[in-house]
Structure formats: structure tokens, C-alpha cells
Structure 1
């Protein structure tokens, strides 16, 4: 690489995930990601950012990559998997229409150019490829706590995030011809800082899913890239089964983690 990449504010979310409330969020997201990605098939999958969460753990594609804006330092919390590509989130170093699945855990709300990130995601996804977006829900008790705590100088969540509402995210995806087919809300406990109080409010997770499902502190959205005039109805098998591609061409900005 010719010059170091600027470190995005998302890196502040890594240490936050090690706190009691961060662990609560991470556990819910890991469970949902395992459920959503287990049945998504293809050859090439990519997780962009937040290596503290192993978003592709349950996925069975032969080629899986973890990327970030920087390699981990001694002060960073340990990543769940090695980072194999370092890049600017607004410029994905992958060929167009080369990836089957992309997971964006809290990338858009901490990115400098979230629209450009999504445009790049649409570019590198194959037709009918899928993207999963994780984010904090501003229409929740946590979102309200974040707004009020900023006034006092003690933000509950990492302060540099620009949290995106679900309707707004759906509009962005629709403009890029990506159709939302699944959505989940979770983490209904009040914005508590200690494990003791989070445990006391554990009952609210089940109650929230039933009575106020859209007020969860975090959401997860799964969308499919649609191409006008194209409809995939299944693989065309021949007597000579084609071998899976070994990998995806990337630019010369790939940096291996040693």
C-alpha cells in the first residue's frame, strides 16, 4: 500500500463490545448471524469490519474473507478471525459481481460515506447475491439514551456513530435494487451498564419480541441483489460438473495478516 488508510470510528466499537452491554449485543448478533448465514450458499463470502464478531462462522462457503481498515494492534481487542485484506470501506478491492455474500456489522453507521459503501457492495455482489447489515436502532430506549447522554458528555454507545433508522436503510437498499427479505430486532433490555442489571431485565427480550418488536436496540437486515430481467431458477447441471472457483480476483492492495 502506498499510504496508510485512515482509521474509521468503527474501531471504537471493538473495545465497547468487551463491556457487559457490548457482550449482550454481541451474543444476540452472533446467534442471529449463525442462523441467517448457515443456509446461504455459494463460493465467496466477505465480512467487512468489526473482526470481534465472526459473522461467517456458520457459513459453509469455501472462500471466506475478513477485511478491515487496519490490522489489529496490541491495544485492540482480539479479532475472532485473521484480517486478510486492509482497505477503505468505500473502495472494495474485489472484482465486480464476484461475491455471493457480504456482511456489514455496524459498518454503515460508522463509515464516512455509507452510501458509497453500499454502492460498492452492490457492485461486487453477483446477481441474487445477499448482504446482511447490522445496526443500532435509533427508535429504541438505547437510541434515546444516546441522544440524551451526548448532552451530558457521557455517551452510552460509541459517540461517533450516525445511527440509521430501518426505514431509511430500506430506502437506500431499494435505490440500489436490493430487496429486503428478512429483518430482525433484538436486545430489548433497558440501557444498563452492568451485567447485574442486564440479567434482571433478561425477561424483556422475550416480551419485546412479542409486544414491541420494532423497539429492539439493534437490528439485522438481509437483502438480495435483484437484476432487472434476470431470474435465477436453479443451477444448470451437466454430465461434467464444473469445479468451484478457487478464489476471487482482488487488486494489488491485498495485505496478508502475519
Structure 2
């Protein structure tokens, strides 16, 4: 079940949420340093992480699941967010270059249909970046944050989900090594926590990120029809087949 849009918005407006947004967004930016000329789609609750791409990408769009709710974004311009069933994205086939999936995979009740839709709208050379709560991290146990709701994944589980839905995992990243507490002292030291955690404690990150490419199968050559062979079955009593004609002499 998805976290309600009101709870998501309030979390990212809090001091803890602002730190989480900066740390996750910084790691996303490291994995996607240049998106010039790309069409970027966010699925789930991705607006806190899409802002750096607005002035760079050709176009930025966002979809929020119907059961989660929708929030207008950005406040200073025309809305670029729509509400949709995650299993029926309102975009054409192969119409986007990058898909950012945040607060989506762990909450959906339509995992395979959603991933199939993302596969459908993603261009052949496109990339998906899935961000999910890490099963072994502290944030997956912090139910006062949106990362503590839904189904968390270990890196190996997330890779298996991607493979099962026709994606090829390419790169893995981690973020949110700082404990999910509201201490001002700890929040100010978040960059140091990220640096140490990325080097020594990757297994205990708050979120796991995996970039994946779209798997496209080569066409299979059509096999020629097998040669049919006549099957001769002996009749009981030595009777002649009905199709055999008598010879003129009556034999």
C-alpha cells in the first residue's frame, strides 16, 4: 500500500526529510550526471528529486499512483504531474529516455504490471533507476518516514525483480547512511555519514539504487513446417483398404 500524499509531502518538508532529499538526490545526480536532450519520467513520488533535471533535460514529467494521491508541482510554474494507475501509464510506446522510480516499487500491489508499463514506455537505449528501502538498513524500520512502509528489498532481491521484468541491472548505488533521527547535530553531519557509509558500510544504507537497461529480445527465426509422413496401419483380418480399387479381372 502506498504512503498517502499528505504524509509524503509533510515528511519532505521536515528537517529530516530535507536531509534525506539532499542525500538521495546527490547520489541520483552522481549516477545521472548529464541528461541533456533526454525525456525524463518520474514514477511514484519523485518530485523532490526531479528539480535538478528541469533546466537540463528536454522534458520532465511525473506520474503519481492513483491510490497515493497527487500534489501539484512545481509551485512556481505549470503543473507537470498527472495521476494514473501505475499499470496503465498514459504515454506511448518507447516515448521516454529515463525513468526514475521512487516510493513506488515497495508500495505497489501491481508490481509486474507496473514494471511492464515502465518497460513499454522506455526507449530502447533508455535507463530505469529504481530507488527502494534497503532491507538491512535502519530506514526500513523507521515507520515515521515513508521508507519504513511497504516492502523493502535487499540489493539481490531488487536485481531479481528487475531481471524477472525484462530489465538488465547495470549499476548499484547506496544512500542514507545517517540514522533516521531528528537530532540537529546528526543532521548537520549527514555528508560525513554518507562519505563513510559509501566506503565502508554499503550493506546498511537506507536506500538501494539500481540502474537498469531495457532488455530487448532478438527475433526468433520462424521454423519451417515439419514434413508430414503417412502412417500405415494394418487392418484386422488382412482386409483391404477401402480406397483400393478392384482390378478389371475381379481379383
Task: Give me the TM-score of the superposition, normalised by structure 2.
Answer: 0.72
Distance in 1, matches of 2:74 and 2:60, equals: 21
1:34-90 alpha-carbon deviations (Å, 9 max, x no partner)? 3333334654321123254142633743232122244427xx996998334221122
Distance in 1, matches of 2:201 and 2:159, equals: 20
Question: SS state of the match for residue 92, structure 1?
Answer: coil
- Look up the match of 1:63: 59
| Long gaps (5+) in structure 2 | 220-251
2:153 maps to 1:156: no
Report deviation, 1:113: 1.8
| Long gaps (5+) in structure 1 | 1-6, 147-154, 231-258
1:135-165 alpha-carbon deviations (Å, 9 max, x no partner)? 211211333x43xxxxxxxx33236422222
Distance in 2, matches of 1:33 and 1:80, equals: 24
| Correspondence for 1:224 among 213, 224, 239 | 213
Distance in 1, matches of 2:47 and 2:123, equals: 27
Q: Would you say how many aligned residue pairs link Structure 1 and Structure 2?
A: 213
Report deviation, 1:224: 0.6
Distance in 2, matches of 1:194 and 1:219, equals: 24
Report matched runs for 1:1-258 at 5 Å.
Answer: 8-11=2-5, 12-40=7-35, 43-55=38-50, 57-58=52-53, 60-68=56-64, 69=66, 70-72=69-71, 82-143=79-140, 145-146=141-142, 155-158=143-146, 160-199=149-188, 203-229=192-218
Larger radius of gyration: 2
What's the Cα RMSD here? 2.9
Report deviation, 1:122: 0.8
Distance in 1, matches of 2:162 and 2:200, equals: 27
Distance in 1, matches of 2:160 and 2:176, equals: 24
Task: Give me the TM-score of the superposition, normalised by structure 1.
Answer: 0.71
Higher relative contact order (CA 8 A, sep 6+): 1
The answer to whether the 8 Å contact 1:42/1:100 transfers is no
Report deviation, 1:20: 2.2
Distance in 1, matches of 2:134 and 2:85, equals: 25
Distance in 1, matches of 2:205 and 2:21, equals: 14
